[in-house]
């Protein structure tokens, strides 16, 4: 028979909380019912219209102490079904135990691992010193505006959070990846304006000519950073700046030279970079492309907060010592993408990124995303040890 925790996980995966325009009513109902089943307090906080936060609480014996927050997001990225082996929301399990579904790695697995670990702890009569809050956010995959609002909300302040866990990334190797910071997220929109004309001529000062210069500057920098990563053995993905052009818009028909093009860039910047200097570099690239080339930020996160990862920090000592007690190999890194943790850290609350998925290919946002049943269950065992270790920190 299937492990009941796996059944819960698969049922959660079958909910189509897929961007864009997610209807969160089904996930909210599912999580609320699960909280009731486990015996956790539960409330729904709507910080923005139609963007609920489900907040569950397991009370500790000393609620005056700062609480532990276990965070996850309920939304998932779009799918292209023609590229999947199975229905992306069927949560089909193969004979080898691989559960194939959108969200299996990013990050519905972690949410259920938290809950099933707590279910086991409660069933055994365990109790922790600190309150434990489980928070489930919306719209993380499209910029985290609800999380940005939630950390300013009175309901968040009432949680009295002292430390938090959030998502990490899988690792094909044996080590677990632990993220003590993350790169800043910049979404930059560049607009190039120029002279119009007939498609048969050599139009001077065209928008397209400026686009080429902008692209060359941004993508040459991208190549330089990629080469730096490849040529420096001690660097990880989170230690360099990535630049990707993701959208190009403009034009109305073949024989009309357009007056305007728009370019969108997704940029991720490590905490070691001087963001003021880097923005000046973007400004210079636009100026060098010609007149009427402007840029604006859709998202501009300048947070560079990192979490202490030395044994004299009681939280890190509890976390890392637990992994070591379990005989688990781990490595610390800067998270290469963006998570809700950036808002938690901006509030002065340390947050680690951790998804216990080793021996697992990295398939977040990819076709045929899957997680092994065995790895999933092992993650519950790990959280079963980590959660009380953190919730019983006394310092």
Whole-model pTM: value is 0.89
Pick the catalytic residue: 75, 141, 239, 369?
A: 75
Beta bridge partners of 71: 135
Backbone angles phi, psi at 290, to 5 degrees: 130, 175
DSSP secondary structure of 253-288: STTEE-SEEEEEEEEEE-TTS-HHHHHHHHHHHHHH
What is the CATH T-level fold of the domain 184-300, as seen in this structure?
Answer: Alpha-Beta Plaits (3.30.70)
What mean pLDDT is predicted for residues 52-79? 97
- The per-residue pLDDT of the chain, averaged, comes to 96
pLDDT tens digit sequence for 167-211: 999 999 999 999 999 999 899 999 999 999 999 999 999 999 999
Report pLDDT for 185: 87
Whether 17 shows a pLDDT value over 90: the answer reads yes
pLDDT at residue 36 is higher than 80: yes
Q: Residue 234 phi/psi, 5° resolution? A: -85, 0
Asked whether the CA dihedral 215, 221, 227, 229 is positive or negative, the reply is negative
**302 has a pLDDT exceeding 80:** no
Verify whether residue 301 is a known catalytic residue.
no
pLDDT score of 386: 98
Could you give the percent of the chain with pLDDT greater than 90?
Answer: 96
> Which of the following is catalytic: 140, 141, 333, 340?
140
What does each C-alpha distance from 247 to 99, 163, 192, 266, 329 come to in angstroms?
Answer: 32, 37, 14, 9, 40
Whether the Cβ atoms of residue 322 and residue 389 lie closer than 8 Å to each other: yes
Which part of the chain is CATH 3.30.70.360?
Answer: 184-300
**Greater pLDDT, 71 or 184:** 71
Confidence band for 66, pLDDT divided at 50, 70 and 90: very high
Check if 274 is active-site.
no
Any residues with CB less than 8 A from the CB of 321 and at least 6 apart, and which?
A: 389
Determine the angle formed by the axes of helices 108-123 and 4-13, rounding to 10 degrees. 150
Say how far apart CA 191 and CA 213 lie, in whole Å.
Answer: 12
Confidence (pLDDT) at 79: 97
Could you tell me where in the chain the CATH 3.40.630.10 domains are found? 4-182+336-391
CATH class assigned to 4-182+336-391:
alpha beta
Tens-digit pLDDT profile for residues 252-290: 999 999 999 999 999 999 999 999 999 999 999 999 999
Over 80: is that where the pLDDT of 303 sits? no
Return the DSSP state at 73: E
Specify the pLDDT at position 101.
98
Q: Residue 257 has what pLDDT?
A: 97
Q: Which of 277, 285, 290, 120 is nearest to 215 (CA)?
A: 285
């Amino acid at each position: 028979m299937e492990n009941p925790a796996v059944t819960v996980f698969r049922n959660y995966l079958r909910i189509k909380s897929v961007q864009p325009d997610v209807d969160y009513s089904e996930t909210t109902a599912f999580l609320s019912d699960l909280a009731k089943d486990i015996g956790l307090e539960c409330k729904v906080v709507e910080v923005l219209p139609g963007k609920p936060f489900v907040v569950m609480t397991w009370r500790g014996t000393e609620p005056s102490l700062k609480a532990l927050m276990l965070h996850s997001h309920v939304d998932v990225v779009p799918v292209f079904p023609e590229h999947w082996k199975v229905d992306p929301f069927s949560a089909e399990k193969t004979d080898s135990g691989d559960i194939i579904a959108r969200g299996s790695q990013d990050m519905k697995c972690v949410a259920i691992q938290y809950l099933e670990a707590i279910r086991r702890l409660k069933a055994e009569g365990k109790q922790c010193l600190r309150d434990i809050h489980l928070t489930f956010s919306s719209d993380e995959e499209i910029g985290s505006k609800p999380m940005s609002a939630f950390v300013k909300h009175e309901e968040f302040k009432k949680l009295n959070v002292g430390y938090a866990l959030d998502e990490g990334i899988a690792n094909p190797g044996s080590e677990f990846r632990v993220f003590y910071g993350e790169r800043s997220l910049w979404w930059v929109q560049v607009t190039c304006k120029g002279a119009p004309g007939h498609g048969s001529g050599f139009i001077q000062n065209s928008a397209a000519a400026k686009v080429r210069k902008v692209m060359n500057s941004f993508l040459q920098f991208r190549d330089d950073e990629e080469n730096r990563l490849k040529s420096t053995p001690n660097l990880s993905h989170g230690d360099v700046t990535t630049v990707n052009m993701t959208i190009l818009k403009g034009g109305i028909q073949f024989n009309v030279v357009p007056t305007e093009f728009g370019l969108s860039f997704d940029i991720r910047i490590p905490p070691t970079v001087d963001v003021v200097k880097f923005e000046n570099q973007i400004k210079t690239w636009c100026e060098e492309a010609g007149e009427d080339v402007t840029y604006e930020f859709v998202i501009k996160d300048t947070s560079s907060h990192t979490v202490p990862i030395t044994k004299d920090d009681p939280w890190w000592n509890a976390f890392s010592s637990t992994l070591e007690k379990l005989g688990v190999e781990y490595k610390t890194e800067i998270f290469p993408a963006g998570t809700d943790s950036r808002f938690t850290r901006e509030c002065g609350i340390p947050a680690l990124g951790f998804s216990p998925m080793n021996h697992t290919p990295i398939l977040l946002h990819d076709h045929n995303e899957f997680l092994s049943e065995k790895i999933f269950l092992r993650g519950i065992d790990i959280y079963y040890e980590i959660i009380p270790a953190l919730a019983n920190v006394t310092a």
